[in-house]
Amino acid sequence: DNLLKQLVGNAEKMGTGLRWDTVAAHFPDRSDVQCQQRWAKVVNPELVKGPWTKE
């Protein structure tokens, strides 16, 4: 997860756009889709985690 955060962060800093196939090259047992899903559903620090609020 730390490497995934680092790779996404580096791509954002460079402004080159994020290519999941390039990210997946650092994870021999994972596809680009798996890396993207891991980021989107688990690792992304912008995700809101915790109990639901009343609305």
pLDDT of 49 > 80? The answer is: yes
| pLDDT score, position 2 | 97
What is the DSSP track for 1-40?
-HHHHHHHHHHHHHTS---HHHHHTT-TT--HHHHHHHII
Checking phi first, is residue 50 left (phi over 0); if not, alpha (psi -120 to 50) or beta? left
* Cβ pair 38, 4 in contact under 8 A: yes
- The model's pLDDT over 3-44, given as tens digits with 9 standing for 90+, comes to 999 999 999 999 888 999 999 999 999 999 999 999 999 999
Please state whether the predicted TM-score (pTM) of the whole model is above 0.85.
Answer: no
| pLDDT score, position 31 | 98
| pLDDT score, position 17 | 87
